[in-house]
Structure 1
């Protein structure tokens, strides 16, 4: 068994494992017919799209990312730095996101992080590498490792949709916060990456709208 989720068959194996260890998730699985894989290619472009999507609507994120692809070709850390602030403003990046991209690109160019090597690391070591970059928090790092790198045992407990889905699944009156949901998810190891996908899909079933990043 690999440490990554790469195929729909991996999702099926993970769901079977979760159903065997958690009666609540077994019931959630029965209510959730489609749990998508949603893998992307690892690298700067994927991480950039996740950074852009923070705290903006999907429509705004898509527009900003589209301009980034237009202005920064090829879409690399080196090219981002070469173009400078005037291009960053035209793309529509806020000042905080400009600073995050600057820190990320400088870290890549110094060789302090190699995005292609994160898949060979443990999830904890990969997280440590990413959150050391100013402006990249746990949610961004976890979503990147989950969907781009494919780490099997990542769970973005700070995600509000996951918190709400967990509350619905367990019949809780309030959403569990990051700390409480992270503790709940410990029993789902080593398939927390599938559990996250399941709960996002369950949220879509319950609320009638998608919330997966």
Structure 2
């Protein structure tokens, strides 16, 4: 059922340019940074308030539309897709993504898990830096970690939890107030053997 749903989502992927949500978050962060340099009672400060509110409403709408769609960036592989996701980051980001073979549903789930955790770090955590790691474990599972040095206190990522659970995986959110946030995803049996090409021998 998961694979069938992924196939159908691929048919719809061109309806929305993936990455728009993250780009809007980055714009909002820059507007908020500019706003802090203005007098609170100035017309420009008020206009920026309205602009940021409009961006937040747009993000909410995009999330509603994007839920379930396969991002076209995955055409270039998961490592490239994750790096493209954070390419315009307003804060330093360290990315380490191992190039492993997975199913389409696993790759899509990992991408959206990173995207949601990344958006959370930008919008709520007030992070100064973010680390993103995607790597296989010895048991064939795939582990995803997104950490930041922000203010902590992150809530549960319900959409991500549902996606991960549909693959038999687990989501852990460790976010004590004032101590940053660590979001970890583990998907069992996610790493597939490499396809053998013509001419290769065992």
TM-score, length basis structure 1: 0.24
TM-score, length basis structure 2: 0.25
Larger proportion of strand? 2
With a CA cutoff of 8 Å and minimum separation of 6, indicate the structure with the bigger relative contact order: 1
